[in-house]
Structure 1
């Protein structure tokens, strides 16, 4: 069993303690062993821990909310913009407000310190790193489980989502395993309208218009689907409902007129052209 360790508060706290020590030591001209004997070190360090923990929890929470609304496969551009706005800009503003409050508490104007010139750029880099860490950790765990293979069952906990049961099998009870962002779903053939290969990945198009990564080869997907689907070429499978007709092109090939837009050419080879025509006539649209 494997879990996303970043879902555990104590793991986040340990990271915060280490990062805060690094931040508080940045730019210091006095050795750490000497600073440990001063009261100023502990005031600065624990204030940094407090601010960093708030920011970590904020980024962790916002990342979980974004996972529920946007995924990286079908809406990556919207997700990227939302990630920058909610995952980076808002936490950065929160750091500025908290740091300003800290300095004001001790009667210091933050603009008259070197915080904005030396510390804040470092904090911004750490916030970006934190976003990347939260996004990539679940994928790393899934990849590690995939490498292990062997029919084991694991539980992956996605930030903000609790736990999701996962099997290493490509199908489960007549369904296909797909990835929607950091979520795992199992879809039946009735949920699908097409499957295609793009950049070496097998994608499936659902009736809702989502394009999801499938944990299956296109050959396996073809054998899984019923006769209402046709293997148009090595890169594309489509259902009869969305095949309106065809156009004869060079060398007896057919260009299929699809009701949907896919990122691969819907070209039927000369060898399969006759079979496709027969399938188009015989299969009724449900």
Structure 2
């Protein structure tokens, strides 16, 4: 899987300056020209810029970590809950602690200032907007990654559109390898990565998500058994009935855990596989 890197260093440099100036000048009755002539303006700006940069960097770090374990598309509910907790609540507490240290260095008690009344609510709103920025960045970057994946690793055909003459490009180290579609047993997801397994048992990593692969391959030849598996018709050895109208699919080559087809998908699977005498 290709992860978003959030290459926005200039954003993390420029935005803290703008936010710091806004926070420092918010509620002040003097003009900008008067403020820049005072020493306290630069002291406040320095502290505010540092705090803003640390908070933005922290939220970015949270996104990088959560993307690897709780991808938005794979685990949306868990990700949303963790994002609120780690991407908004935690930075909110961190902002208060950093401000506490800043005021303590200046010999002030934060509870005796107007920070909690005026500045802190604004900071919480800005942290929320920061999370929305990285959320938009994530989906935009994923869209670009998908576009490049389709352009760089397409399903290519030779002179005919028949399935036996098609290949799918996979990566192995620095090499790109064409795998004939007739050799593909199934695609599966394991941890944070997607793999292709051939009938000979060879595994290759693929960068496309299973949803995209499902759209890429002919519906008559590949079936989305569940969230972790896209299986070729030829790989289906047999299936067994489970309680609650579920099915357990057995493939060749075998998969290490049972392939369970849900009640919702069992009927469509039976219709899809109907007519294949090797599967009962």
TM range (shorter): 0.5 to 0.7
**TM-aligned CA deviation for residue 113 of structure 1:** 1.5
Tell me which residue corresponds to 2:240: 244
Unmatched tracts of structure 2, length 5 or more: 156-167, 171-178, 200-208, 249-259
The aligned runs of 1:103-142 (5 Å cut-off) are 103-142=103-142
Tell me which residue corresponds to 1:206: none
Tell me which residue corresponds to 1:26: 26
- Between the aligned partners of 1:19 and 1:177, the Cα distance in structure 2 is 47
Unmatched tracts of structure 1, length 5 or more: 152-166, 192-211, 248-254
Kindly provide the CA deviation profile for residues 21-78 of structure 1, in whole angstroms up to 9, marking residues without a partner as x.
2222222222222211111111111110011111111111122111122112332222
- Between the aligned partners of 2:147 and 2:274, the Cα distance in structure 1 is 42
Kindly provide the CA deviation profile for residues 195-252 of structure 1, in whole angstroms up to 9, marking residues without a partner as x.
xxxxxxxxxxxxxxxxx55224547253663xxx599xxxx989746842499xxxxx
| Aligned positions, number | 227
CA contact (8 A) 1:189 1:224 kept: no
Which one scores higher on RCO, CA 8 angstroms, separation ≥ 6?
Answer: 1
SS in 2 for 1:266: helix
Q: After the TM superposition, which of the residue ranges 48-57 and 138-147 deviates more from structure 2?
A: 138-147
Tell me which residue corresponds to 2:219: 222
Tell me which residue corresponds to 1:169: 154
SS in 2 for 1:55: helix
- Between the aligned partners of 1:230 and 1:132, the Cα distance in structure 2 is 32
CA contact (8 A) 1:12 1:56 kept: yes
TM-score by length of 2: 0.64
* CA 35–72 in structure 1, closer or farther in 2 if over 3 Å, else same: same
Tell me which residue corresponds to 2:196: 188
- Between the aligned partners of 2:197 and 2:264, the Cα distance in structure 1 is 21
**TM-aligned CA deviation for residue 140 of structure 1:** 0.9
- State the Cα RMSD in Å: 4.2
TM-score by length of 1: 0.62
